[in-house]
Structure 1
Amino acid sequence: MHQLDKILSRVQKPSRYAGGEWNAVKKDWDQVDIKMAFAFPDVYEVGMSHLGLQILYHVVNSRKDALMERVFAPWTDMEKELRQERLLLFSLESQRPLVDFDIIGFTLQYEMSFSNIINMIDLAGLPIRAADRDVTMPLIIAGGPCAFNPEPIADFIDLFVIGEGEEVILELIDTVKDLKQQGLDRPKMLLEIVKKVPGIYVPSLYTVSYNEDGTVKEVLPKQKGVPQKIGKRVIRDFENVPFPTNPIVPSMGVVHDRVMVEVLRGCTRGCRFCQAGVLYRPVREKKPETLARQVEEMINSTGHDEISLTSLSTADYTGVAPLVRNLLDIYGERGVNVSLPSLRLDAFSIDLAKEVQKVRKSGLTFAPEAGTQRLRDVINKNVTEQNLVDAVTSAFQNGWSSVKLYFMIGLPTETYEDLDGIADMAKKVVQIGYQSGVPRGRLKVTVSTSSFVPKSHTAFQWEPQDSLEQLKEKQKYLKEKLRDKRISYNWHDPGTSFLEAVFAKGDRRLGMVLEDAWARGARFDGWSEHFKFRLWLEAFEEQGLDPKWYAYRPIDYGEVLPWDHIEAGVSKKFLIREHKKAMGSLPTMDCRSGQCPGCGLCPTMEMKPDILGGAEIAPIPGEV
């Protein structure tokens, strides 16, 4: 691979492409039947921080008859070199071109990585549209949260995996191995996979028709044996699901450079803007002894000096305090830190934070999400201003001097009074800091706002997004209100949020826009230095589609949504009920309280939340 060595010496960060890291698995290529590449549509540093990659890498490489290697989106300097030298995109482990693999699997974490997916398919030397690829080429599959509205990239992907991947990936490999031996052509192969493996969506097996007003009329299977609706896959035995205790140790600094253990999956909170809270239901917790064993094995096999207890809401884990204390007792003396990625205000115990900070002190981040109680009730964020006051008072009194507050702007029903609430809250936190004795020069309060993006399968999927002008106006207003040297204010680019909303709510026609924008040079759209908003607007204009129609239009309950054939297990009836409650500022109970909110998931999936020593959740009579 002399040519490759030559180009690696010319790029900014060669270790992104070199491979050979500690715990990476390199198998004898000729000894396995199925070769799979895990494709992460962002740079190495972002992809190597993704726990899902490590899990599936472990699951597939544990098989004798299969291998999984990795590939990440090449940064612009590397892309230029590959194109100039006419080299095909290759995997890290064996540095083989992607065309040599049987399956290329993309993870869909974020709508703004869609242009990178097309670019990687093209750099692999493959036709970007699924219809132009034949049986001699790798099967291109995709999964992850954005697969729950797969339509905008349906033209480029052979099949989507809906839901959790640990079991379905093995069934898929078995089926592909079997079908490969039968020598079936691509369409027959895809049909057989759908018949044999539940939770698989093959876009080419469905017809989408539209009404005259541009809305979706229906999505129908083209033939018998193809399911009308695709239900998500869920791991039932979370306690014993395969987990990588010898993860790959990155060869360069990455976003999350630490050991990650998944303490629970799912979330019972029911925040109405949150898609992950719906997609990963029901909640399942691992036993503390399982976690302790996994942590020990991971520390021994990696040498990391930080343990991150990951989940959507780690502070909700039933035994979180004793677990943290136990881990610190064992590893604290070795200089190993424990971190909790997310602290909820109501679940916040300063004692827990003090425990976590024993080894290394870091700042604290809280997410009230909205500036007034009324708006927090709209979004079902069951925290109060008093929770925040108590938490920051406790934090400042215990030696913290910097606090980050995270909010969303543009939420449904938001008024300027709610924005005033954000500014008032930030100023109140500053005052509490002074009253708690934080020295004037050291006190720092950071306020971050992101723009609300309506997502599929949530109670807000029918809601419009605020216009770009409104979002910019609100950011400007807050900037004025937060003019204070002790407060720093950060905000997200509203242009990115606008496009994210378009693709989050979009249909199959957006594939034309995506291809057009990519051809004009769209890459790394989630990175502010590469995001070219004008180029996207030109692509929409060229394809005769109006992005505002997708992002700004309120949708009726009766309208067919582009993703209605993809089922997350939570009933539409429940989401409509939640939307109506939101408009009346009525909160819904967390199902950990023992009262079932009637989302419909347990009867549909025939399973229950698996909470350690948890109370039985009483169903609401007559509600599913």
Structure 2
Amino acid sequence: MRKLALRDEILLQIDKAARYIGGEVNAVMKNKNDVDIRFAMAFPDVYEIGMSNLGMMILYDMFNKRDDVWCERLFSPWTDLDKIMREEHIPLFTLESQDPVKEFDFLGITLGYEMCYTNVLQLLDLSGIPLLAKERTEDDPLVIGGGACAYNPEPLAPFFDLFYIGEGEMVYGALFDAYKANQKAGGSRQDFLLKAAQIPGIYVPSLYKVTYKEDGTIESFQPKYENVPEKVEKQLVIDMDKDYNKLEAPVVPHIKATQDRVTLEIQRGCIRGCRFCQAGMIYRPTRERDIETLKESARIMLQKTGHEEISLSSLSSSDYSHLKEIVNFLIDEFRDEAVNISLPSLRIDAFALDVMSKVQDVKKSSLTFAPEAGSQRLRNVINKGLTEEDILHGAGEAFKGGWNQVKLYFMLGLPTETEDDMKGIAHLAQKIAETYYEVVPKEQRKGKVQINVSTSFFVPKPFTPFQWAPMFREEDFIEKAKVVKNEIRSQLNQRSIRYNWHEPDVTVLEGFLARGDRRCADVILKAYEKGALYDAWSESFHYDIWKEAFRETGVDIEFYTLRERSTDEILPWDFIDAGVTKKFLIHEWEQAKAETVTPNCRQKCSGCGVLKYKGGVCCESKN
């Protein structure tokens, strides 16, 4: 029987003790003496959120298929346990063996969103690993980061030994083999880092030097050694049959996870070209999974997990060419087992509504539309590819089908936005409410229509056409939200429209972290030392701490948030080859200013640069 790292009296003092005990169904147990590499895989947030991360589960499964590797999991301790661990000097441990993280060869940290950065430092701190990579010794684990935020690793560069740029299936094997060879040869930590930097997709921050101009912009970003590449090229799975790691037995959480279901990834990438969307750019080209493989994976995963719900995962599920077949298969195959089917990322068309009427309880569900902008002009600027006619028609069909609740998602602060664009959010909500009363006879209505409008504030992200765009101050964002709120109050159906908006202070900080350079690490470290933790959680976020950190480090947040970048400026992430070329992104930035729509990849190849990744849908497009 395993000995838990936490005593019974501690487990009784903390919330959700099941987060820390391990032993779940499908968790992988090995003898640590029988493996060459111990890999601690961390997610810098609570267990329930981390256990919903598909990428982490795929890598956990893939690593453990190697006989010479044992991959174990850990997550950020919640604030109650964090306090106890510090007071009683309890080292951070993994769930499987309950061994201290400090004893492992690697600590891998998934970087899914910028607001988890102080939690990254928490993981290192509680593990007894020096926060700065330059202070680590031969006895410390190698700290490697990956995930969406690794596409601008610079704000975290001083804290990591390595970063993996791209999809994990491709070169982790080579990295592990290089580590074993270095160990066998008696090589040092530095020897390994030099070898690792020569593996495609691996970025070692300490092997690069950054210089700055007098105006604060980057003057140069160069490798320190000849055999270290100037560009780090993202790694992608192109052969989705051969190289994709089929996840068949995901770990089943002890407690309800945020996504408490089987996740079936049906494709990677997106044919759409929304100019604000980082995922749509960095995960190009679109690569579909084989339909028969998906059917078999669905059967196996539902059997091995006991889950009663399955979700089809994709950036744009409606664009999967075999969507109708896989949905009908799931409905027919698991009808007797009462398995629920979740369909995120669907465009609301006739097929989607027909499917949802079969798999959802119409009386309880609400439909989600993401127009992103209130006017057609601004939707053209962001290349949303969605007209007002599309939205109203989809809503009308949904209302005829029995729905009377709609969620609408928008962004405020988009490039070129005007007051009319903001007010357009209220006007579109009003038109949708009117559509309900127009298409649904009075005797068939299930009460009033309910329109829930939600606005977030725009954050420019690396490798998007909007990466050069300026943001706004906190007070500006609040004023924009007030414009929408007041306009909604003036609508005829105002009582049917509810409105809420995202926190502007969190948005501003996210913008700083998203486009920051290495100098931003000083602010992150100072904020953590002052108590910043769980910044993604409203109840834990304290912007005053960050303001103090900016003052004490002398870093000007507005240099990173308010300033429009020149297209010839060296950006902190320019050393990464993410497939899409800078030339294409500049062209799309110009297209946005001209309010010109770019066709999606199936309609016409836009020459974004990912043609070199043979096998994606872009390679099949015709000019």
TM-score (ref. length: structure 2):
0.96
Partner residue, 1:77: 80
Q: Tell me, what secondary structure is at the counterpart of 1:167?
A: coil
Distance in structure 1 (CA, Å) of the matches to 2:594 and 2:133: 45
Distance in structure 1 (CA, Å) of the matches to 2:84 and 2:508: 32
Matches within 5 A, 1:306-455: 306-345=309-348, 349-357=352-360, 362-435=365-438, 436-437=440-441, 439=445, 441-455=447-461
Distance in structure 1 (CA, Å) of the matches to 2:569 and 2:226: 26
Q: Percent identity?
A: 48
Q: Residues 494 and 40 from structure 1, CA distance in 2 versus in 1: closer, same or farther, beyond 3 angstroms?
A: same
**Contact in 1 for aligned 2:412/2:456 (Cα 8 Å):** yes
**Contact in 2 for aligned 1:105/1:142 (Cα 8 Å):** yes
Q: Cα deviation per residue 1:25-72 (whole Å; 9 max; x = unaligned)? A: 111111111000111000001101110111001100111110110000
RMSD of Structure 2 on Structure 1 (CA): 1.6
Matches within 5 A, 1:152-231: 152-195=155-198, 197-231=199-233
* Structure 2 unpaired stretches of 5+: none
Q: Cα deviation per residue 1:92-149 (whole Å; 9 max; x = unaligned)? A: 1111110011000001110110100011100001110000001211000001111111
Residue 586 of structure 2 corresponds to residue 583 of structure 1: no
Residue 28 of structure 2 corresponds to residue 19 of structure 1: no
Q: Tell me, what secondary structure is at the counterpart of 2:569?
A: coil
Distance in structure 2 (CA, Å) of the matches to 1:219 and 1:504: 18
Alignment-mate amino acid for residue 129 of structure 1: L
Counterpart pick for 1:515 among 522, 525, 532: 525
Residue 616 of structure 2 corresponds to residue 609 of structure 1: yes
* Structure 1 unpaired stretches of 5+: 620-624
User: How far 1:440 moved relative to its partner?
Assistant: 6.4
User: How far 1:159 moved relative to its partner?
Assistant: 0.3
Distance in structure 2 (CA, Å) of the matches to 1:480 and 1:359: 32
Matches within 5 A, 1:487-526: 487-526=497-536
Partner residue, 1:622: none
Alignment-mate amino acid for residue 210 of structure 2: V
Alignment-mate amino acid for residue 549 of structure 1: F
Q: Which moved further from structure 2: 235-244 or 383-392?
A: 235-244
Partner residue, 2:41: 38
Q: Residues 403 and 379 from structure 1, CA distance in 2 versus in 1: closer, same or farther, beyond 3 angstroms?
A: same
Partner residue, 1:596: 605
**Contact in 2 for aligned 1:315/1:347 (Cα 8 Å):** no
Alignment-mate amino acid for residue 448 of structure 1: S
Distance in structure 1 (CA, Å) of the matches to 2:67 and 2:223: 36
Partner residue, 2:125: 122
Counterpart pick for 2:572 among 562, 569, 576: 562
Residue 274 of structure 2 corresponds to residue 267 of structure 1: no
Q: Cα deviation per residue 1:282-339 (whole Å; 9 max; x = unaligned)? A: 1000121111000000110011111100010011110111211111011123110111
**Contact in 2 for aligned 1:344/1:367 (Cα 8 Å):** no
Q: Tell me, what secondary structure is at the counterpart of 1:485?
A: helix
User: How far 1:362 moved relative to its partner?
Assistant: 2.4
Q: Which moved further from structure 2: 322-331 or 481-490?
A: 481-490
User: How far 1:243 moved relative to its partner?
Assistant: 1.7
Partner residue, 2:553: 543
Q: Which moved further from structure 2: 439-448 or 41-50?
A: 439-448
Q: Cα deviation per residue 1:64-89 (whole Å; 9 max; x = unaligned)? A: 11011000011000101111111000
Alignment-mate amino acid for residue 143 of structure 2: I
User: How far 1:481 moved relative to its partner?
Assistant: 2.2
User: How far 1:490 moved relative to its partner?
Assistant: 1.9
**Contact in 1 for aligned 2:602/2:617 (Cα 8 Å):** no
Partner residue, 1:476: 482
Residue 473 of structure 2 corresponds to residue 467 of structure 1: yes
Distance in structure 2 (CA, Å) of the matches to 1:21 and 1:536: 38
**Contact in 2 for aligned 1:324/1:356 (Cα 8 Å):** no
Alignment-mate amino acid for residue 444 of structure 1: Q
**Contact in 1 for aligned 2:372/2:409 (Cα 8 Å):** yes
User: How far 1:2 moved relative to its partner?
Assistant: 7.0
Distance in structure 2 (CA, Å) of the matches to 1:616 and 1:280: 17
User: How far 1:371 moved relative to its partner?
Assistant: 0.7
User: How far 1:350 moved relative to its partner?
Assistant: 2.0
User: How far 1:346 moved relative to its partner?
Assistant: 6.1
Q: Tell me, what secondary structure is at the counterpart of 2:241?
A: helix
Partner residue, 1:7: 10
Distance in structure 1 (CA, Å) of the matches to 2:174 and 2:120: 24
User: How far 1:347 moved relative to its partner?
Assistant: 8.3
Partner residue, 1:234: 236
Q: How many residues in Structure 1 have an aligned counterpart in Structure 2?
A: 612
Q: Residues 597 and 314 from structure 1, CA distance in 2 versus in 1: closer, same or farther, beyond 3 angstroms?
A: same
Alignment-mate amino acid for residue 616 of structure 1: E
User: How far 1:397 moved relative to its partner?
Assistant: 0.7
Partner residue, 1:53: 56
Distance in structure 2 (CA, Å) of the matches to 1:549 and 1:95: 44
User: How far 1:442 moved relative to its partner?
Assistant: 4.7
**Contact in 1 for aligned 2:404/2:446 (Cα 8 Å):** no
Counterpart pick for 2:286 among 275, 283, 297: 283
**Contact in 1 for aligned 2:5/2:98 (Cα 8 Å):** no
Alignment-mate amino acid for residue 498 of structure 1: V
Q: Tell me, what secondary structure is at the counterpart of 1:137?
A: coil
**Contact in 1 for aligned 2:284/2:610 (Cα 8 Å):** yes
Distance in structure 1 (CA, Å) of the matches to 2:351 and 2:464: 26
